[in-house]
Structure 1
Amino acid sequence: MTNPIIATEDPAKDIGKILKKIRFDRELTLDNVSMLTGVSKTMLGQIERGVSVPTISVLWKIAKGLQISLSSLLNEPTQQYQAVQILTDIQPVCDEDNKMLLYNIFPFNPLSGFEYFYIILKPGASHHSDAHRSATEEYVIVTEGTLTLQVEEQTFTLQAPAKINFRANVAHSYTNQTDKPVIFQNIMKY
């Protein structure tokens, strides 16, 4: 039996340092990054200084605007052959009202071309995602509850166990319209 690594630190702790490094490596100003991402210069500065912890929506905007994976902002280490308890060993990233918990299970790896998330939507939770890069596909597997997924003008009701995949180059949203949690896995293939 292996001993899992217990996550004791918030994965958002280093986002500012990582963002600043990416910005400096690309020789971008805060104004440049703001224009690329749609996130205000003030907010970006606060994130870089560690004064503000970005929400999932803000992280997606930054990742999309800089054309990087969400995982690259979270700086999650990848290790082979390690058993990990998702809900106790991995610290989730939450939305602004803590109704959406996103666990970065398998961070982006350029060799595999994907990243894998375990997501819990509490009752009443809703998350809107802007269009991703044109070549991105999402694979969603609902394992508990009923997820309402809207892709452009189409609405899908996915009652567990259910799955769907779609090109993520369009706006889409995930909603829990029930009084019980929804649990789903999301694979982002780049």
Structure 2
Amino acid sequence: MKDPSQNIGLVLKEIRFKRGLTLDEASKLTGVSKAMLGQIERGESVPTISTLWKISTGLKLSFSEFLSSKKQDSEVIDINALEAMFESDGKMILYNVFPFNPFLGFEYFYIKLLPGAYHQASPHNSSCEEYITVTKGVLKLIVDENQYILKAPSAISFRGDKVHIYSNPYEEEVIFQNIIKY
């Protein structure tokens, strides 16, 4: 079994770069010296639990994020093997393929609408955008007062802070992908 402490430096460096932080800025946020942070990133030093708590608290991350194994560069996901969520009396089948990740800022859903499906989504926060790509069937989408008929293959984007309704008043199943960007 791989020692999880080997991953700490990689995670720290990745987070620091994604946030555009220098070692000096990360040091000020965490209360851990710039030299120590550099040693941890290079794998020259394994932090104590106390030091790791300071880093995770200062960077507003979970402690366990530093200890989890680094994700592979690629991952194949069998959507049919994912646990489905059901809405609209079981006529809307939603698969959360890529759950929300605060570093990436989006989540991805694979959605099936059976004939007769109707789902009204609550408005999201004002900085949210939705991207829909219809790959099978015809999706009836209402955003605020605007109605869109999206026949596969077609796509649309809209601000998520509006009331939006997904429906399938037709006889054929609808399949669409939904990316929500925060």
Question: Is residue 85 from structure 1 mapped to residue 60 from structure 2 by the alignment?
Answer: no
How far apart are residue 79 of structure 1 and its match? 4.7
* Aligned-partner Cα distance in 2 for 1:84–1:151: 31
Partner of 2:150: 158
Unaligned runs of 5+ in 2: 1-69
User: Which residue does the alignment assign to 1:66?
Assistant: none
Counterpart of 1:107 in structure 2 is: 99
C-alpha contact 2:142 2:164 (8 A) present in aligned 1: yes
The reply on whether 1:184 has 2:176 as its aligned counterpart is yes
SS at match of 2:90: coil
Residue 86 of structure 1 aligns with an amino acid whose one-letter code is I
Q: Percent identity?
A: 48
Greater Cα radius of gyration, structure 1 or 2? 2
Measure how far apart 1:97 and its partner are: 1.3
User: With structure 1 as the length reference, what TM-score do the two structures score?
Assistant: 0.57
Amino acid at match of 1:164: I
Gaps of 5+ in 1: 1-77
Aligned AA (1:157): I
Q: CA RMSD in A?
A: 1.4
Equivalences, count: 112
Q: Distance in 2 between matches of 1:122 and 1:98?
A: 8
Decide whether the 8 Å contact of 2:88 with 2:118 is kept in 1: no
**TM alignment of 1:21-100, pairs within 5 A:** 79-80=71-72, 81-87=74-80, 89-95=81-87, 97-100=89-92
TM score, norm. by length of structure 2: 0.59
